[in-house]
Amino acid sequence: MTTNINANPLESGNDELERYALEECLKRQRVDHRTSVLIIPASRCELARRFAQLEARVVLGDDPARKQEIEGRIVAAGIGNEVSFLPCTLDQLPAELPGEPFDIIMVRRGLCALRYEHARAVIRQLLLKLRIGGKLYVSIHGLHSELGDGYPGHEQHSSDRYAPLAPAMAKKYGITGPVCLYTERNLFMLLLEAGGSVLRTMTTTYGNVKGVAVRV
C-alpha cells in the first residue's frame, strides 16, 4: 500500500457526513479489524482512499462504463489490496454484493434521479445489505438548494415530486433528466419508511441534505 500513512484520513476534506462515516469506521476498526464499506457511486475514489488508510475493506459500486477509469485510480492510489470495483448502479443493484453484509454504506449522490417510491425501495435494499447495527450514510440534492431555483416540482408532495430542473440549473450542473429534490424532513421520512432507524439528518450551508440511519 503506497498511501501516505502519516496523513490523517479524518482530516481529509470537510464533508461532515464523510467525517461521521470515517469516525465510525475508525471506532469499528479498533474493535474488529474487518470493517467492510460500500461506496456508491465511486466518484473520484478519494473517499475510498481515506477508508483504505483506516484498513477497511472497500467495495466501489459504479456504472460499468467507469470500470477502467476507477480501477486505474485504485491502482494509482496504491489501494488495490483494500479496494475493489463492482459494476452496479443504485437502480440496478445485484441481489447479492461481494463483501456484504457491510458495516458502512455511503450513498453520495444519484438518489435524486429516482422517483421517491423507487428511492425508498433502493434504501430498503441497501439497509438489508448492512449487518445489524451497520450504518447507512446518504447525501442528496436539497429542495432549498440552488437547484431548487425555478424547479417546477417545488410545491408538490415528495411522493409526487419528479420534474426537470429549471433550464439554467440543468445546464449549470449537467443534470438533464427529471429529479426529486428533498427537504431534510423528506430525507428523514425516506429513511424511516425504508425501515431504518434514523440517527441524524442535517442540511448543509448550500441547502443539500444528508442523513444517517442504522439497521436494527
pLDDT of residue 108: 86
Element spanning 124, H or E: helix 116-127
- Over residues 112-141, the pLDDT tens digits come to 999 999 999 999 999 999 999 999 999 999
- Over residues 132-187, the pLDDT tens digits come to 999 999 999 999 999 999 999 999 999 999 999 999 999 999 999 999 999 999 99
- Over residues 43-94, the pLDDT tens digits come to 888 999 999 999 999 999 999 999 999 999 999 999 999 999 999 999 889 8
Model pTM score: 0.92
Pick the CATH number of 9-214 from 3.40.50.150, 3.60.70.12, 3.90.100.10, 3.40.50.720: 3.40.50.150
Upstream peptide bond of 101 is cis (omega within 30 degrees of 0)? yes
Domain boundaries, the chain: 9-214
Q: Does residue 135 contact residue 21 with C-beta atoms inside 8 Å?
A: yes
pLDDT of residue 4: 43
Distances (CA, A) of 59 to 24, 146, 160, 168, 211: 17, 32, 33, 35, 21
Residue 24 DSSP SS3: helix
How far apart CA 102 and CA 61 sit, in angstroms, is 13
Q: Does residue 141 contact residue 118 with C-beta atoms inside 8 Å?
A: no
